[in-house]
Structure 1
Amino acid sequence: MDVFSDVVATMKSGRAKLTRSRYNGRWGSRYGPYPGAGFHVVLEGTCWLVPPSGPAVRMSAGDVVFLPHGSVHGMSSTPDCPLEDLLPALSMTDALVGRVNRHTLPDIAPALDDTLLLCGAYRLRRDVVHPFLRGMPEFLHIPTHRVQHTELHAVIDLLGINTVEDRPGADAALPALLDLLLVYALRIWLEAQCPEESGGWCAALKDPAVGAALDRMHRDPARSWSVRELAESVGLSRTSFAERFTAYVGQSPIAYLTWWRLSLASRLLRETDAPIASVARRVGYTSEYAFAHAFKREYGTPPGSYRRTARETPAPHQDAHAGPEDR
């Protein structure tokens, strides 16, 4: 897998949950905080995102907003509309898609168009969140009506069809569509909105040398990479490569490789029944003892105990980030 695919794979636990909410009149809802990454998709009408800080942002049909840190924010009919706390949201164990809701502030009925939103959240395991995600801003607003991204437009159209209409197979189609929504939203941000001059992972993934080295680590984590070998593979001296990599990524090449191997191992322990010795080999450790020692140093518990605990206690879930229940 390439770096970007691995980032997406490691940031999610379980499947996303969403609710479709139709609002009319004047309305305002407050969301978060929650231990996950939230999103809103405007299917019809217009509304305003009230971010954790800064001015409100107008959103139109087709727009997407992604909130990678689960920060408190609001969605409303106008930027100055009061925000109401949500009623308890549907739990992550309920149906994949919640019901259409209507929510209008009483005794106020200006001529405002209906707004249809998809609001939801991805579970995150905070113990394996990739540093790429940690370095993202509080929210990403992707105004799809202003950009030519046919893939994202297609996903939004299909999400609308499979949530607004009660069609056979929707529960099978929606998880894949939500994964695609996440991939395309993050890709657009990285390619069009993430400035290289900001440094960090924006610069790392776009830099020809550092990006190529990261790609090699992710595609073959079991290989016994050395800094010299990685540097030669991207056409730099050992010293220049190490300094450049550390400046962008925030860790030395070997420190990041070790973190990535153990992060991958944690996912294999949670999601597969592979023996611990097999997991160790798959992530580049020839000795099960050395793997167990490194894993305990990173996660505070041996691999076997980590696997048992992860299976006995599901990843912490958040509310559906999805609007109030039907009034």
Structure 2
Amino acid sequence: MVADKAQELDKFDLQGRRANKISSPLSQLKMSSVFYTYSSMRQPWGVKIPAIPSSTMFHLVLEGEAVVAVDDVLIPLGPGDFILLPRGAGHNIVDVNHTPARDLFENSLEKVTEHYDCLTINKHGHGKVTTTLCGTVLFDNELTASIISSMPDYILITERSKTYQTIQTMVQAIQLETRNDGYGAGLIVSKLADVLILQCIRAWVDEVSDNSQHWLMAHTDKRLSRVIKKIHSDPAAHMDIESLAELSNMSRTSFIEYFKKKLGKTPKKYITDWRLSLAREKLSHGDSHVLHVALSVGYQSEAAFSRAYKNKYGEPPSRTKNTWSI
């Protein structure tokens, strides 16, 4: 009888684990809209977006060009380009002439619905026009917060990105709806933008993670969730196996074995792969010097970083940077 009960429990556990593998944590991402803004801006223009804690922001360029400035990084955007700022960092979005930015709320905002505004700058001017859809959303649960905290300062998806085709249809649908004055247009744009953000997150996870399903599942693992959060929240920080094992409440040996079982690689290799994946993304989409990128992901010298990078990707970081800058 005890044996039968044990078999039932094993069967239940196996079914649960199978269900967990099938049901991605992405399905548990819950968003509540704060606001979306459709903007038509004629040069010269520049908008300063304040930081909003516990939020995620995005900009989608529908027409024209723009530049987003996050800290010291300048990210040029063209038609169809989509940038996500996972942790709601303060930033500027300006024209290609880098016109000084004015605070968002110093501009004229027209309220369309509770969650949807229109912004117009220099309506009667003669400069080139840029139209964008921008937004800020809040996430509702701890799992979502954990995943978001693991992401870089920004995620950029352009037509050159491997995953661009997956969001192209949604971009086109948003373009149509933002030009539609019909009933419920504002609500439809908000819902479409929600889906677009989920697609962007999924695309980024697939691009930077060798095994995205295992990476996501680690966020729900009671022993590993704090470890994953620490590794992802500050890639430049010094990390040793002993301190990570402490976070998991396991011995060093048990932690290494458990980590490898769940994520398919040792903690050391996982940290290295994660740092190099982030570095590759920064080199592909940013203008930072190779040494600056190396320091930002935890390497103390450009030489050590270049060796590790070439070993993983088969080319030096300078080639990645030059290829994407063409």
TM-score (normalizing by structure 2)? 0.55
Cα distance in 1 for partners of 2:154, 2:79 equals 18
In structure 2, the partner of 1:41 is 60
- Per the alignment, do residues 79 and 134 of structure 1 end up closer, same or farther by CA in structure 2, a change over 3 Å counting? farther
1:208-229, Cα deviation, whole Å (9 max, x unpaired): xx459659979xxxxxxxxxxx
Q: Check conservation: 1:26, 1:78, Cα contact below 8 A.
A: no
- Per the alignment, do residues 61 and 212 of structure 1 end up closer, same or farther by CA in structure 2, a change over 3 Å counting? closer
Q: Check conservation: 1:40, 1:117, Cα contact below 8 A.
A: yes
1:65-103, Cα deviation, whole Å (9 max, x unpaired): 101111111111126321111226879995332124124
Q: Check conservation: 1:52, 1:138, Cα contact below 8 A.
A: no
Task: Please report the RMSD computed on the Cα atoms of aligned residues, expressed in angstroms.
Answer: 3.7
Larger strand share, 1 or 2? 2
Cα distance in 1 for partners of 2:85, 2:171 equals 17
Query: Deviation at 1:124?
Result: 3.3
Structure 2, unmatched stretches of 5+, are 1-22, 223-252, 272-326
Cα distance in 1 for partners of 2:62, 2:112 equals 25
1:192-212, Cα deviation, whole Å (9 max, x unpaired): 3x2xxxxxxx46x537xx459
- Per the alignment, do residues 81 and 41 of structure 1 end up closer, same or farther by CA in structure 2, a change over 3 Å counting? same
Q: Report which structure shows greater RCO (CA 8 Å, sep ≥6).
A: 1
Q: Check conservation: 2:157, 2:164, Cα contact below 8 A.
A: no
In structure 2, the partner of 1:242 is 258
Q: Check conservation: 2:170, 2:192, Cα contact below 8 A.
A: yes
Cα distance in 2 for partners of 1:38, 1:97 equals 14
In structure 1, the partner of 2:13 is none
In structure 2, the partner of 1:264 is none
In structure 2, the partner of 1:157 is 172
Q: Check conservation: 2:110, 2:118, Cα contact below 8 A.
A: no
Cα distance in 2 for partners of 1:40, 1:101 equals 16
Q: How does 1:275-314 map to 2 (within 5 A)?
A: none
- Per the alignment, do residues 148 and 67 of structure 1 end up closer, same or farther by CA in structure 2, a change over 3 Å counting? closer
In structure 1, the partner of 2:139 is 124
1:9-64, Cα deviation, whole Å (9 max, x unpaired): 2xx2x23521111111211111021121101100001111111232x111000000
Cα distance in 1 for partners of 2:98, 2:56 equals 25
User: What is the SS of the residue equivalent to 2:156?
Assistant: strand
Cα distance in 2 for partners of 1:215, 1:50 equals 30
Q: How does 1:69-88 map to 2 (within 5 A)?
A: 69-78=87-96, 80-87=98-105
Q: Check conservation: 1:62, 1:145, Cα contact below 8 A.
A: no
Query: Deviation at 1:191?
Result: 2.1
TM-score (normalizing by structure 1)? 0.55
Q: Give the paired residue count.
A: 212
Structure 1, unmatched stretches of 5+, are 195-201, 219-236, 251-327
Say whether residues 1:21 and 2:27 are aligned partners.
no
Say whether residues 1:53 and 2:68 are aligned partners.
no
In structure 1, the partner of 2:277 is none
Percent identical across equivalent pairs? Answer: 18
Q: Check conservation: 1:22, 1:101, Cα contact below 8 A.
A: yes
Query: Deviation at 1:173?
Result: 2.5
